[in-house]
Structure 1
């Protein structure tokens, strides 16, 4: 089912009891974030805040805050249907005579829905603010986290066009409100918007920009999808394919750009490549850490257009799980068939929420020859935005990659540290704070497949010793040792029963190289019997919570620097890195809400009319 616009999707959710209204006035500064964070962590509903203080517009949040709602937003029963849709589209038949050709007609009809459709009028231009009328402060833009540099637009669909080729792009880049008609534009070095701006600078022209807020859910999703560089395939085309009809666009009133006719708001304007960049941030980002202040371009707003009764759409990012986890899962399903066309061994893959997209990838394969796990992992690192992956774990077909604990159990039993691990280097997400240098750092591949004789150093055809090697982790122990309380800086420890072979150790770090010393001492001590992986985390990590442990580890490591083999064990140093250890950049804090806001939301919960179980 295609939704004409955002509000029609909201109506369906409300009819199903998956969108609730809050009529009491709420603050856009921290309060809405705290409410929304509690709801998404409990699998709660979307919320329409009808009265946002100091704004005439209502705000909706959490529309795709569960796996099921994300599927509904795309007109599906389950996200797995996305993969089948793409398989059907790319599996065009050329043989079997006329019958074979005729069988392609429904698929070609789907493909014809790709280009957008220009319309003369759009609901998003029912009201137009120009010049001095423009006031971004009237929009209920959220300040999400206590240390944020200000209010940020968190769900913008940013539209630009290549000044040379006319190639269109839509991406989701956060925008800090810096004045009545100015925002930052968080275009990182790898993003298409940055490339368009660089071309505009060479040509000596301003870059026109339009920012859509809203549109139907398929378009919001499409703006987050990492599209492959295929001519004619852009975000409007993807949305058209997903909704089964060409996407309606209308020309902007002050910019020569096509904008979604069914959006709630459009911000029109430009970025001047000759202008000095502005300091943007800090911002509590999708990694669960703050990204620190840095210089980014300014976006100047020349007009705001909107519906007569618009709703401002928002999302929040932070410690997982958040709403973005389900958008990432949708992209997994959408691009699985394309990955399988290039790497046919792949049977499935998954980017768990603890890895906040790029930090961790699980992939299962049908293994046929020695070294195939490394071949697949290396191939993935060459596919589009998969280049940012930090840790790739390869398992055999049959291991459920969506089962976090099952994959790590398989790693402990079938991946021998050193023998079945491989480090390297490559591009890293610009938001990664732990890499050896900005946007460049280490990679780790773990081969947790069953090993063939050649991978065990045996002669071809020999099976001797293979079973013994495969079961090398059979004695993995979840028993809790008492040894750690003897080490300086260790404040807690835990061996999770659900993943025997792992030892999580909390370290309060007070001096350089302290965590490396602790790792070496633990790795060689008898208390580590039955341990394959030592997980060192900071004092803010709950060692009893496996998700929290891995989230901290994956954010805080450069694998080449911070993951090493010691006495047959893999040590992961997920503590913060100090300048004395050669880390010259500032280390950001983890995101957390201030206690005053928590207390205020607790005290006002009964006023919101939300069920107590989500409190």
Structure 2
């Protein structure tokens, strides 16, 4: 089903009971975030705030806040249908030859190469602000979290052209509103927008930019998708492929760029590469931690175009699970056939919400020879944005990659610390606050597949020679009263499958390593395979919370090591005395005042108690 614009999708959601209206006044400063966060974490409906203080325009949020709504937005019954849709275009066997394989790649490229359709009149240009009329404060841009540096556009479709080739790009880069006609432009070093700006600088000219807000939800998704570098394939083409029709665009009123004709708002302007960059941030990011202030380019808005009665769509990112987890899952399904085309032994893969995309990738394989898990993991590191993956866990084909607890049980069964773990280095997401360097750090591969004789080796211990290595049912965890006490340990918990989870109040350098040595030597550690040391704000009885903290707070080369018979993970904060020179960011939490306000007004909003 095609949606000509965002509001048609919203009408369908409302008809299905998947969108609720809130008519009472609500603040765009934190209050909407607190309400929306509760709804998405409990799988509640999308929300339309019709009365936003300080703005004449309503705010829609959570439109893609469940797996089912994302599937509906993309016109499929289930997200797995995305993989089937792509798989129907390619023969994974390659027709029995390399030539056949290449012909199918061409067929896929041609099927997805649907150029946008230019129109001369567009709803998004019914109202135009130019020059001094531009006032971004009139648009209900949200301040999402208490420490944010200001309001941020969180669903921006940022459009640029390569100054040399005119090749289009659309990406979702957050946009901080700095004053009435200036924003930040969060182009990270690996992003296409950065490359376009660098080319403009060499040519000595400004880079024109358009920021679309709203439009067909398929285009909003496409802006988040990690597209492969196929000539002629861009975000408009992907949206066209998903819809089976060319996407309508219109030329901007002050920029020579094509913008979505059915968007709600478009900000037009430029970035001057000769200009000093501005301090952008902090921002409560998708990692669940704040991204600290840094320097980024300024975007100067020369015009704002919009519909006569526009709706401002927004999302929030932060501590998982969040709305972006379902967009990530859509990308997993869409690009699974392409990954299998390149690495045929891949059965399935998944990026769990606790890993906030790049921090954890679980991949199941059809294993036929020793060392295959490492071959697959290293191949994944070479696939586009998968280069940012921090931890890759490889399991056998029969293991369900979406069953988080089953995956980690398989790790204790099949992966012996040191023997079946491999640390390497490579590019890291620049939003990662724990890496050894900005955008560069350690990576970890865990081979949790069934081992072949060649992979065990003659030097293996008698424990390692066992086929299952460690069966969870053979380990009985100690009760809390039986666990040892150590300095700084606020809470601890052992699981039946061999994990020791610890919340540590870290106050001195080297404390985590000393703790790991003491734990490994204690009788209570017998049968333990992994010691997970998290920070003092972690709930050790919540496996998702522990792994979310650990995966955010480690550089695998520095913070994961073999300690006796177990693998120690130091997910506590790093101190300057330990050589960590950057500031350690705080976890995102809402202010108690806003939490209390929303609690008190929940019945006033008219929202069901079940979502509270």
Q: Same fold (TM over 0.5)?
A: yes
- Whole-angstrom CA distance in 1 between matches of 2:273 and 2:172: 20
- Whole-angstrom CA distance in 2 between matches of 1:113 and 1:377: 30
Alignment-derived partner of residue 551 in structure 1: 548
- Whole-angstrom CA distance in 2 between matches of 1:150 and 1:95: 55
- Whole-angstrom CA distance in 1 between matches of 2:514 and 2:309: 61
Q: CA deviation at 1:484?
A: 4.9
Are residue 487 (structure 1) and residue 482 (structure 2) matched? no
Alignment-derived partner of residue 588 in structure 2: 591
Flag structure 2 segments of 5+ consecutive residues without an equivalent: none
- Whole-angstrom CA distance in 1 between matches of 2:589 and 2:321: 14
Distance 1:160 1:418, change over 3 A: same
Q: CA deviation at 1:114?
A: 1.7
Q: CA deviation at 1:109?
A: 12
Alignment-derived partner of residue 563 in structure 1: 560
Q: CA deviation at 1:91?
A: 3.4
Distance 1:483 1:587, change over 3 A: farther
- Whole-angstrom CA distance in 2 between matches of 1:407 and 1:430: 27
Distance 1:95 1:458, change over 3 A: closer
Alignment-derived partner of residue 428 in structure 2: 428
Alignment-derived partner of residue 519 in structure 2: 522
Q: CA deviation at 1:485?
A: 5.0
- Whole-angstrom CA distance in 1 between matches of 2:95 and 2:190: 41
Q: CA deviation at 1:52?
A: 0.4
Counterpart of 1:470 in 2: which secondary structure?
Answer: coil
Q: Which of the numbers 578, 581, 594 marks the counterpart of 1:581?
A: 578
Q: CA deviation at 1:481?
A: 5.1
Alignment-derived partner of residue 279 in structure 1: 279
Distance 1:43 1:164, change over 3 A: same
Counterpart of 1:486 in 2: which secondary structure?
Answer: coil
Distance 1:338 1:113, change over 3 A: closer
8 A contact 1:496–1:546 mirrored in 2: no
- Whole-angstrom CA distance in 2 between matches of 1:316 and 1:537: 25
Q: CA deviation at 1:40?
A: 0.4
8 A contact 2:112–2:237 mirrored in 1: no
Q: Which of the numbers 511, 528, 547 marks the counterpart of 2:508?
A: 511
8 A contact 1:89–1:110 mirrored in 2: no
8 A contact 1:288–1:590 mirrored in 2: yes
Q: CA deviation at 1:355?
A: 0.2
- Whole-angstrom CA distance in 2 between matches of 1:337 and 1:75: 19
- Whole-angstrom CA distance in 2 between matches of 1:167 and 1:393: 36
Are residue 35 (structure 1) and residue 32 (structure 2) matched? no
Alignment-derived partner of residue 151 in structure 1: 151
Alignment-derived partner of residue 537 in structure 1: 534
- Whole-angstrom CA distance in 2 between matches of 1:456 and 1:496: 26
- Whole-angstrom CA distance in 2 between matches of 1:258 and 1:578: 48
Give me the TM-score of the superposition, normalised by structure 2. Answer: 0.96
Counterparts of 1:86-485 in structure 2, within 5 Å, are 86-91=86-91, 111=111, 114-457=114-457, 468-474=466-472, 475-480=474-479, 482=481, 484=483
Flag structure 1 segments of 5+ consecutive residues without an equivalent: none
Distance 1:481 1:93, change over 3 A: closer
Q: How many residues align?
A: 601
Counterpart of 1:295 in 2: which secondary structure?
Answer: strand
8 A contact 1:57–1:139 mirrored in 2: yes
Report which stretch shifted further, 15-24 or 479-488.
479-488
Distance 1:613 1:93, change over 3 A: closer
